[in-house]
Each structure stands twice: as C-alpha cells, then as structure tokens.
Amino acid sequence: MAKTIKPEKVGGFLDYLPPVMIARKKMLETIEKVYQKFGFVPLDTPAIERLDVLTGNDKSFRMNLYRALIVSGLEDLGEAAKNRNDDLALRFDLTVPLSRVVAAYPEIIKPFKRYQVGKVWRGEKAQAGRFREFVQFDADIIGSRSMLADTEIIQIMYEVMIALGVSSFLIRFNNRKIFEALNEVINLSDAQKRDELIRIIDKRDKVEKEEIEKELKRKPDNKWDPAPNLSTENVKKVIDFISITGSVDDIIEEANLVVGNVPIGQQGICELKEIVNNLRMVGMPSINWCLDLSVARGLGYYTGPVFETVLTDLPEIGSVYSGGRFDGLTDRFIPGSNIPGTGASVGVDRLFAAMEKLGKIKPVSSLTKVLIAMFDHSLLLDYLTIANELRREGIETELYLNKDSFRDQITYAAKKEIPLVVIIGSKEKEQGKVSLRDMRLRSQETIDKSCLISKIRDSFE
C-alpha cells in the first residue's frame, strides 16, 4: 500500500478557495476595465521561457529562478539535468516575455498598448506579503519615448486604485537616469557596483538607515563581490540625496544642484519636470502622487522613470503596484533596436492581502443567485425546466443534486449565501405557482409561476 501523503502546499505558494477566488476575479475584472478604458489590448505568453531569454545571458544576473526539467516519471533528476536539451525556467515577470514577443512579431503596430495577467515565480524567502508564486497584472506601452506614455501609466495606476475603492495611496516616482548621474558624482564606474547600489537603495523601506549605510560602505569579500565599498563622504552624498524632501518643485531644484551638471542627470531632471507638468494638467490629486528621489526599483532593465504605489494606511506591506521605463529591453533579441517601453504591474496577491487587511475585500461564498430545492423528486422535470429557464435569462441558478432533507437544503443555501430558494411541491404545481424564499429577509411568498423571473429580477434591484 502506498504511503499516505500529507495534503500540504509548498511554502510561499497559496491555495485560493472559492470565496477568495470570487473576490479576486472581481478585482481582476475591475483592473481590466481600467486598462481597456485607456485603449490597452490583451496578450498572453508561456509560463516557461528559455533561460537566455529571461537572463539576457547576463553573467551578473542574480535573481533566484525556478528551473524547468523534463523528466520521465521518477527518473533521476541529476541524470535528467545532464541530458537536457533545453535550458528552461519559469518566468519571473511578464515584462521580459513581452520584449520577446515584440522582437518576434515586428508586424505589431506601435505604440503597442498591452495588458497581461498571469502567474510568475521567484525563489525568494517567503514572508508577509511576499510569495514565491504570485500573480501580476501588467499594462505596458511599447514604441513611445514620449513622457506622455509614462504619464499615462501613472494615470492608470491612479485610476486602478480608485476603481478598487482604495483612496489612501501614494504613487512615488523617480528616474533611473538620476541615479546614473549620482554614480558619476561619486565616481562609481563599475556596472555591477552601480547595480548593487540600486539594489541597496531599493531596500530603504525594509531596513534601517544605518543598515543602508553599512551596505554602501561594505568591502568586497572576493573579486566577484559587487559590494560598492563607498567612502564615508560618498555614502553621505548618497544618503543626503535620497533623503531630499519638500515640494515637488523644491526636490527637482535640489536634485538639479547635485546631478544637473551631468548630461544624463539633466536629461532625467527634464523628464521628471515633464511628467510633473503632465500630471498637473490632467488634474491628478497631488495627495496621491509625489516625486521621491529614493525610489530605485531593483530590476536592472529600468532606464528612465520608475514608479511604485504604497498604501498610506498599510505602508509596511511595501509597493503594491510598480514599474518603470525599460527602453532597449529588446536589444537582447535585436541588437541595437532600442525599442522604447514603459509600464507598471499590479502585485495582485500583495494588493489583495492588503485590501483584506483594510476591510476593502468581502469574500463571497457563491455566485449562485437562485437554488431550486429538490422538494419532491417526482417533480424533477419541473425543476429542470425552471432551472433551464432561469439560466437562459442569465440568472445564476443551481439545482440541488442530492436526496437530502428540505432542512439540509435550506442550510446549504444559507452556508453558500444563496439569496433565493425556489420551492415547488405538488400543491404549487397544481395551482401553477411557486414559493420563493428570500434567505436575506427570512421571508417566503407564493407567486404565479409566470411571474417568477420578473420577481427574481426585482429582488436584486
């Protein structure tokens, strides 16, 4: 006899039972409507990609991936790894697969505004609000260098949060070109050290200032270690820079004093000014957006404006909606193509968990509006006929399937929060009537069968 298997899930992965899935589906539909309102169209890509597609053959690539192997039954994994023909991995985001699609299908009309929802996988340490398997819902614009595209992404981020019923949020944005200029100011030329500096700054909301300073000063343990090894003076410059606060105009002015003399820094400043002016023109409430020079975004492919959304009533959960500009991500497929792109991604699982904590999500046990009770099995044809009539009218209807007592059937309806129960016995059939029980009001009335559909519709208005 085979050993009994314990039915437990893998750490960092989640099961979503129907009450949660119904609420999640509603959330996704709300986001999708916002994306469509801005002219975005749907796209889907495989969960598995070639490893070189995901990493760009970058030797400094450091993200923990889930590798994929094809094995036969209980074949030895070690042998399978040796004999594999394809080097495959599960995607870690939806942006890199998008860049592959753009490179593979040059006939796509640009600007290309696409949205995509799907699971992604990262082998990170599981913790509150952070999972190894999670759902992202992206909106990206490919083929425009205009800051209007970045402005539109910020607009979409705002519209999505409002549509979800969240009002206390802040969209913080910055520009990676500012950091490139800051690297010039502190004479940090090594590309891997520059990436490490971004990674360290990106942790600013998770660790204390002293820890950031310690990591910026850290010396390399070996020749491959990208530790920045900054001097005390340069660490102070970095910390002072990302700590600049004040009005949007004041921040831009102070940032310009630090990096404005570096060409790429001046370009970043000009782009930020343009986005700020655009946001003011569209009338986005200033309480929901700000310029924050500490926003870095850890992924290495960002090249310009970067954005992230935090919930002001729940800041400890981190960013729930983030992204940025990624010009040239297609270069790994078409060298020198430098196709521009910008976009943002909803961290669906993290945002959903946050909205649950904030009381913005109400789990629903069922989508069924009407239950047809199996009151008298000799009337099965009548029950089936009514169920089909209601379904044809677009009314979500269940027919009770088991030979349980009427009391058990009512209990079933109550547990699943089904609002209405249709009851027909021999007496009702003879009179051409039905009894309709409203579980919400704990009331019941007998009506003409011909009035059933209109009565049900009226009860939901």
One-letter-per-residue 3-state SS of the chain: CCCCCCCCCCCCCCCCCHHHHHHHHHHHHHHHHHHHHCCCEECCCCCEEEHHHHHCCCCCCCCCCCEECCCCCCCCHHHHHHHCCCCEEECCCCHHHHHHHHHHCCCCCCCEEEEEEEEEECCCCCECCECCEEEEEEEEEECCCCHHHHHHHHHHHHHHHHHCCCCCEEEEEEEHHHHHHHHHHCCCCCHHHHHHHHHHHCCCCCCCHHHHHHHHHCCCCCCCCCCCCCCHHHHHHHHHHHCCCCCHHHHHHHHHHHHCCCHHHHHHHHHHHHHHHHHHHHCCCHHHEEECCCCCCCCCCCCCEEEEEEECCCHHHCCCEEEEECCCHHHHCCCCCCCCEEEEEEEHHHHHHHHHHCCCCCCCCCCCCEEECCCCHHHHHHHHHHHHHHHHCCCCEEECCCCCCHHHHHHHHHHCCCCEEEECCHHHHHHCEEEEEECCCCEEEEEEHHHHHHHHHHHCC
Torsion from C-alpha of 48, 53, 59, 60, nearest 10 degrees: -80
Give domain status of residue 116, yes or no. Answer: no
Question: Measured between alpha carbons, how far is 218 from 390 in angstroms, rounded to an integer?
Answer: 69
- The pLDDT score that the predictor gives to residue 82 is 63
Tokens of 22: 């119904």
Question: Measured between alpha carbons, how far is 189 from 90 in angstroms, rounded to an integer?
Answer: 33
Order the strands of the 48-50 sheet from edge to edge: 48-50, 88-90, 67-68
Give domain status of residue 397, yes or no. Answer: yes
Give domain status of residue 409, yes or no. Answer: yes
Give domain status of residue 345, yes or no. Answer: no
pLDDT tens for the 461 residues of the chain, in order = 778 999 999 888 989 999 999 999 999 999 999 999 999 999 999 999 999 999 988 877 888 999 988 777 766 666 666 666 678 999 999 999 999 999 999 999 999 999 999 999 998 877 666 789 999 999 999 999 999 999 999 999 999 999 999 999 999 999 999 999 999 999 988 888 888 888 888 888 777 888 898 989 999 888 888 889 889 999 899 999 999 999 999 999 999 999 999 999 999 999 999 999 999 999 999 999 999 999 988 777 899 999 999 999 998 888 999 999 999 989 999 999 999 999 999 999 999 989 999 999 888 899 999 999 999 999 999 999 999 999 999 999 999 999 999 999 999 999 999 999 999 999 999 999 999 999 999 999 999 999 999 999 999 98
Give domain status of residue 54, yes or no. Answer: no
- CA-nearest of 344, 421, 395 to 171 is 344
Give domain status of residue 338, yes or no. Answer: no
- CA-nearest of 425, 423, 449 to 436 is 423
The distance in angstroms from the start CA to the end CA of the chain is 57
Question: Measured between alpha carbons, how far is 152 from 158 in angstroms, rounded to an integer?
Answer: 10
Give the predicted TM-score (pTM) of the model.
0.89
Structural domain including 379 reads 370-459
Q: What angle do CA 382, 386, 391 make, to 5 degrees?
A: 150
Indicate which CATH number applies to the domain containing 417: 3.40.50.800
Residue with tokens 């390399």, as numbered in its chain: 220
Residue with tokens 């870690």, as numbered in its chain: 92
Order the strands of the 433-438 sheet from edge to edge: 397-399, 370-372, 420-423, 433-438, 443-448
Give domain status of residue 428, yes or no. Answer: yes
Give domain status of residue 389, yes or no. Answer: yes
Question: Measured between alpha carbons, how far is 169 from 315 in angstroms, rounded to an integer?
Answer: 9
Q: What angle do CA 346, 348, 353 make, to 5 degrees?
A: 130
Q: What angle do CA 111, 54, 102 make, to 5 degrees?
A: 20
Q: Into how many domains does the chain fold?
A: 1
Beta bridge partners of 134: 120
